[in-house]
Amino acid sequence: MSALETLYGYLPCVKVPRGGEKIYKDECIYCYDNPESEGGLFVCLKSYMGLCQLHVQKFYEKFPENPIYLHLKRTKIEISGAAGGGETDDPPAKKPTRLAIGVEGGFDVNEEGRYEIQEEIAIVVMPGYESFPYPSIEDTPVQIQLAIEGILKSSGADKQSAVEAWDGEVRQVSKHADKLEQLDNGVKVPPKGWKCSRCDLVENLWMNLTDGSIACGRRYFDGSGGNNHAVDHFRETGFPLAVKLGTITPTGADVYSYDEDEMVEDPHLARHLAHFGINMMSMEKTDKTMTELEIDINQRVGEWATIQESDKQLKPMYGPGYTGMKNMGNSCYLNSVMQVIFTLPDFRKRYFEEYDLILNRAPEEAPSDFTTQMAKVGYGLLSGTFSNPPEEEMAAAAAAPPAKKVQNGITPRMFKTLIGKGHTEFSTNRQQDAQEFFLHLINIIDRHSRGTFNPTVCLKYMAEERIQCVQSGKVRYKQRSDYLLSLPVPVELAENREELIVYETRKREKESKGEKMDPKELVRAKLSLQTCLDSWAEPESIQDFYSSALQARSVANKTTKFATFPEYLMVHLKKFTIGEDWVPKKLDVSMSIPDELDLEHLRGKGIQQGEEELPEGEEPPMEEPAEAEPEIDEGTVIQLSEMGFPTEACRKAVYYTSNCGAEAAMDWIMQHMEDPGLFLHVLLHVILLVKY
């Protein structure tokens, strides 16, 4: 039988893709092999599932209605002289000038050198792997041609959620630009010699385009940057747009919209600057743009790979359990959580040791099956298949070059797409919190483990809360389940407190003069995990407690202990707090973790002899706000929201504390975590959401 006759016999098994259909041509749906892997990738011409050489046979045996595949095989061929291993006439790699990937002037997506891509395409029929080169077959059936061309031209399912050529400099025109209000207040800004109107800083300055006020920018987590005075000005006035002084040139400048919370374009910038006496055409650049600052950070991230732990170069590890995960753009929260949970035996047992069993039970649409994708991540991290030393390292250790192409880490994009589906935060590429994602993951695993082995049980424990009414002396014991222990970080109990006081004093003195501390002089608070545990176990005062013994509100003390201990305790350190300037900040601390930790003194023992229980009785519901909308300080709401508390809870807290400030509102939230209706969305018992 001729090749043409053979292919005609499979036309009922071929489907021409329509616009918007997901085509998995970038990676195997069961593992992380791709068209550049040794066996290439086989894309089903009916279901569009992508399979590696190891899994295509199993897929066909499960779904024999899918016998015909497009085989994609790509080989990178290094261009002579591009490896950088010897003398070459090639120019050195250009330094990035744009915050972009895969575009001119941006970060290069190629690996180290330059490569040519050699691509082989064939039609393969199962079960015998009968192969027909494409497009060399004359008169290939039109339906098969259309299916193949549709697959080749598609962007692929992975790239529908991640664009390869990303340009971070593309900014939208601000919604405020056309009708920006500018006050006729007589303010005229000189072309140089600027200083923050609220402190002595003379760099990182922003001029508000409504009233011409000049203030310093945000303070960064490491203490550098400004003092947040430009942000404070926006919160006080609501004036939305500011331009970064020192970046103004005849071609443009950095403009930030506080209302839209992003860098924007202002097409009328020259007119807006002229209102305050600034001639845009005569200005020169004297400060780094935000793009240049971000490029510096991205380059430092690359340097971190070779300059780790205070100039100590560490030897990379390879093999099972030492597989890295590539960043997909703000995905460090996901990568870190997945790496941690797959060190636990129960998760290894469920998703790695039962990998073959899970694949045998997987549906045809495996990319949409949570258990299958968890097993795929487990196999990727623990099999060692995707954790091999670089070829040059292997070649140096052996007489002959390696026979098999190696891969460096995995990119769990298929898993990220699935676990974020339908979630307002995890479905985006924005930065997220690892603790929040961990609880989201636990919730989903628990939902998909009904009737089967549930690996999350090893993390589950019961907390015992003891609440004592101060006035009556009566007590109430409650138990709740949890999967994570959130500990406070009491900086005031730091072991090097005196050293910290001296450092902070020197830092304030320098900042008052417009100077910055040398990063080498940084002093971090030193704390032990035991100190954090002791602080967590301290009694907490509840000022607005309803006592069923008194039938009135009173003051109570609450202590929390462990009713049961988990097999593995997941700990979360609350590293965010509100500073003296009411701005949320991340604590920079050095934490001492002991090899052994005795928690026996934190074991709860229930009601004790001589204690009298508070009588049963429901607390009267919280009084709802009057129908007329109360005045709520939106600035305080924003501060609390930035710390991760749900907006609805923040608004209630500000209302019930009579706009007394962020600290009072945060205390109110902590005291009412158990109140019904406080939060709109709660996945598990208590979720303190913070942003990294």
* Binding-site residue set: 196, 199, 206, 216, 218-221, 229, 256, 258, 261
Beta carbons of 296 and 383 less than 8 angstroms apart:
no
Residue 178 vs residues 187, 230, 241, 243: alpha-carbon distances, Å: 21, 22, 12, 16
Nearest alpha carbon to residue 439 among 421, 410, 459: 459
**Biggest distance spanned by C-alpha atoms of the chain:** 95
Q: What residue type is 596 in one-letter code?
A: E
Q: Specify the length of the chain in residues.
A: 692
Task: Please state the residue numbers annotated as binding site for substrate.
Answer: 206, 218-221, 256, 258, 261
**Cα separation of 43 and 208, whole Å?**
55
Radius of gyration (C-alpha) of the chain in whole angstroms: 30
Task: Please state the residue numbers annotated as binding site for Zn(2+).
Answer: 196, 199, 216, 229
Residue 450 vs residues 102, 316, 371, 517, 597: alpha-carbon distances, Å: 44, 39, 12, 55, 33
60-82 burial by CB neighbour count: b if 16+ within 10 A, else e?
Answer: beeeeebbbbbbbbeeeeeeeee
| Residue 395 DSSP SS3 | helix
Q: What residue type is 496 in one-letter code?
A: N
> Quick one: angle between helices 662-671 and 634-642, nearest 10?
60
Beta carbons of 463 and 536 less than 8 angstroms apart:
no
- The half-sphere exposure of 322 on its side-chain side, counting CA atoms within 13 A, is 8
Nearest alpha carbon to residue 537 among 448, 598, 450: 598
For 251-356, strand residue ranges (E) read: 255-257, 262-264
For 483-551, strand residue ranges (E) read: 485-487, 525-528, 540-547
What tokens does 212 get?
């011409």
**Cα separation of 175 and 190, whole Å?**
28
Nearest alpha carbon to residue 476 among 622, 298, 613: 613
